[in-house]
Amino acid sequence: MEDYDYDIIKADFNEISELDEPKWNHNNCYFNQLMKFIPDNAETCLDIGCGKGELSFMLSQKVKKVIAVDIADLMIEKAQVLHPGKNIEYICGNILDLEFENNSLDVIITTATAHHLPYEWLLCFAKDKLKKGGKLIILDLAKAKTLSDYLLWSIAFLPNVIMNLIKNGRLQKDDEHSKEVWERHCKHDKYMTMDEIQALANKHLPNAKITRKLFWRYLLVWEKP
């Protein structure tokens, strides 16, 4: 299991919380797709690494209660201002330190956060805490290894430029300051390959469906039998 310095991660995301937020990014471009996996009868959804609450708010329109957790206190403060909701409970804390009853959640969703967590812990957590028929949804970054990885993710460069121009009005998603902050944060990140992700899923959640996504990400969806 990798070592995670959560003081550094918290400090990084508190700094990131102050950056100018582009309308379109490599996470929220998938949010509408993620929402299609949320069951219509879902009551309680846990959003791990909720950031400024954009996805949490979308979830709150479909489920009865959203528990939105982030380790960065400034992210939670931003979320409460930008995306408030009577059925959203924003919690500042490390998900590893929080307790939930077994079989108590209908959905566990996390975007660009799984690589900050012990991956086997996350899969086992979902297996224990989800209700029967509940869903785990992970959108996260992966490390290229195979020819398929390199082909798909090299193709993404042109669509990335086009979408930034259309949605954000500029060639790149981030300005120079934001780019410097993100690059500094990414030096702390460690990503798994698709093979490594698949192997852990086979071990703990053998019927999970994993697909590569265009913008250097993958999607894992698992429904608890």
Indicate the pLDDT class of residue 170, thresholds 50, 70 and 90.
confident
Residue 1 maps to a domain: no
- The angle at the Cα of 9, spanning 216 to 214, to the nearest 5 degrees, equals 10
pTM above 0.85, yes or no: yes
- pLDDT tens digit string along 14-52? 999 998 888 899 999 999 999 999 999 999 999 999 999
Would you state the pLDDT for residue 2? 56
pLDDT of 57 > 60? The answer is yes
Q: What is the CATH number of the domain that holds 174?
A: 3.40.50.150
Helix (H) or strand (E) holding 32: helix 31-35
Would you state the pLDDT for residue 172? 67
Full domain range(s) for residue 164: 6-223
Mean pLDDT of 167-180: 73
Residue 98 maps to a domain: yes
Would you state the pLDDT for residue 179? 74
- What does the alpha-carbon distance between residue 173 and residue 160 come to, in Å, rounded to a whole number? 9
What is the side-by-side strand order in the sheet with 209-213? 88-92, 65-70, 44-48, 105-111, 130-141, 217-223, 209-213
